Amino acid sequence: MVEGTDGQVEVRVARDEELEEVVRLRWRWTAEREGAAAAGDEADYVPAAAAWAREHRDTHVPHVAVLAGAVVGMAWLALAPRVPKVGAIHRLSGDLQSCYVMPEHRGNGIGGRLVRAVLDTAVQHGAEHVTVHTSPGSVAMYARNGFAHEERLLYAEPT
């Protein structure tokens, strides 16, 4: 998949032995945004989420940003089959999920590199498009790295 270094930061698909660190970032993100009570017990979450990640490697591809041997950022590509159409029986769409860079490493282009790595992986898998659901503060970063508003994409939360 995507590999490369920029200075000391390496951005690529996560290795199996890094999955605990990747999901720990997801736990940290929740604790940062919603508080420790909302995040729950890290010791319970990390092994369960890492096991889930291993079971779903075919449909949820984790990417990492590694600095000096430590995982400092993550982003996931969720791949979903689409209904066949004439001329294309096997179709995929992608969704960029859980893009996060540790606060002390933000503002250095790591998030953008993670986004581009996810898009490159989507191309390698043959995804027709990639969507992202983001916070208002991250819209510009996604726009700088290949995303655009799409008039035909709508969003609903089923009740």
Residue 86 phi, psi dihedral angles, 5° rounding? -55, 125
Indicate whether 154 belongs to any domain. Answer: no
36: domain CATH number? 3.40.630.30
Is residue 79 a contact partner of residue 92, using CB atoms and an 8 Å limit?
yes
d(Cα 91, Cα 82) in Å, to the nearest integer?
5
Indicate whether 156 belongs to any domain. Answer: no
User: Which tens digit of pLDDT belongs to each residue from 87-97?
Assistant: 999 999 999 99
pLDDT interval class at 155 (50, 70, 90): confident
pLDDT interval class at 7 (50, 70, 90): low
- Average predicted confidence (pLDDT) for the chain: 94
Domain range enclosing 128: 5-144
Instruction: Look at residue 13 in the predicted model and tell me its pLDDT.
Output: 98
Question: Residue 158 has which token pair?
Answer: 């089923």
pLDDT interval class at 3 (50, 70, 90): very low
Indicate whether 75 belongs to any domain. Answer: yes
Is residue 142 a contact partner of residue 118, using CB atoms and an 8 Å limit?
no
Task: Count up the domains in the chain and report the number.
Answer: 1
Indicate whether 32 belongs to any domain. Answer: yes
Indicate whether 151 belongs to any domain. Answer: no
Question: Could you give the 3-state DSSP secondary structure of residue 142?
Answer: helix
Give this prediction's pTM: 0.92
